[in-house]
Amino acid sequence: MKRLSYFLFLFLILSFCVGCSRQQTTDIEKDVLVFMAGYKPQASLPFVGVYVAEQMGFYDEENLEVKILHTAGSGEHLQLLAAGKVDVTTQDAAILLQRRSEPGLPLVSIALIGQKGQQAYVALQESGIESPEQWAGHSIGYRGTPPPDLFAMLHSFNLDEDVVKLINVGFDLRIFTEKKVDIYPVFKSNEPFMLDSWGFNYHLWDSADYGIPSMGLCFVTSDTILDTKLNELTRFLRATIKGIYFAQENSEVALESVMRYSGPETDIELMRFMLESEILDSVSNISKQYGLGWQTYDQWKKLADLLVDYDIMKPVDISSVFTTKVLKDAQGMH
């Protein structure tokens, strides 16, 4: 009886210790980061990396809790980032440069996911325009302000702006399909899909294919957050890059992650096209050599020079607009 009481006592003591151990493990608080996507939920590759990392538990592996938010596209994500309300967001590289130049927002790219720019130019096949050399005498659309890559495209074929008619077309693709403009600027990840689904045949020209500096979406933080949350940013980026690689090999799971945020009304085939398009544009000789998301001084300098040459912005300190440290640490490079 005494032996039974002894073993019962020992069992209770061990159970109490195990319980304490489990309680201590459970009580470890995760570090929190706030991520705000630079647009509404969709299969943009940086967004997908975050969605998948959350769903597959990659952030849990890094002891991170990532709060996922979205902006409607009106630019408040950059203001919230600068104010410290958001830790990481996404932004087009050219816009990042412009906002760093004026009004001087403290934006820093920590990974360049889009190695090529987001836009291209299209003309209907029936127009007879088969090359940018034939743009002279035709109307060309732009959105808001004529982009520098448009002028660079013209100049690469020895064409001046006065030989074309520039039209501010906004964001209505029907202006193009109704032939109110001959050459139209498309977002490569979705508008070609729309033209295909509507039955239009077209030629597409990407400025990057003509040697014109072109960069896409980055993961962006601020100077202050980079200084104060370097470890958390490193773990975030490691898990998110892992999510992107997972999405490349498991597109159906990735699309399921997208639909959880975008809702059932979203066209999954459009999301598939977007994901596949952005995976292609995430690859360059630089990313092949150094890994997904890598960025170089030369890339940023060439794009900044293009923007300055066409009076889009004033010069900025290139070394201040990006860092490779976070990605290096995430990759385990030293």
Instruction: Tell me how crowded residue 162 is: count the other CB atoms within 10 A of its CB.
Output: 8
pLDDT at 24: 42
Check if 31-116+215-331 and 119-210 are the same fold: yes
Nearest by Cα to 61 from 329, 230, 243, 334: 243
The rounded distance, in Å, linking the Cα atoms of 161 and 154 is: 7
Q: What is the CATH number of domain 119-210?
A: 3.40.190.10
274, 48 Cβ separation under 8 angstroms: no
38, 91 Cβ separation under 8 angstroms: yes
DSSP 41: S
For the chain, domain boundaries: 31-116+215-331, 119-210
pTM: 0.90
The rounded distance, in Å, linking the Cα atoms of 69 and 241 is: 18
**CA-based torsion, 287, 288, 289, 292: positive or negative:** positive
DSSP 29: P
CA-to-CA separations, 91 to 20, 103, 115, 212, 237, in angstroms, rounded: 45, 16, 13, 20, 15
HEC-encoded secondary structure of 104-160: CCCEEEEEECCCCCCEEEEEEHHHCCCCHHHCCCCEEEECCCCCHHHHHHHHHCCCC
pLDDT at 6: 40
- Judged by DSSP in three states, 185 sits in strand
Nearest by Cα to 136 from 160, 116, 152, 107: 160
Q: In the chain, which residues have pLDDT < 50?
A: 1-26, 334
What are the E-state strand segments in 17-87?
A: 31-37, 64-70
The rounded distance, in Å, linking the Cα atoms of 148 and 163 is: 16
Beta bridge partner(s), residue 92: 217
Placement of tokens 């209505």 in the chain: 172
Placement of tokens 């820093």 in the chain: 108
Rg over CA atoms, the chain: 24
CATH code matching the domain that covers 31-116+215-331, chosen among 3.40.630.10, 3.40.190.10, 3.40.50.300, 3.40.605.10: 3.40.190.10
pLDDT at 27: 53
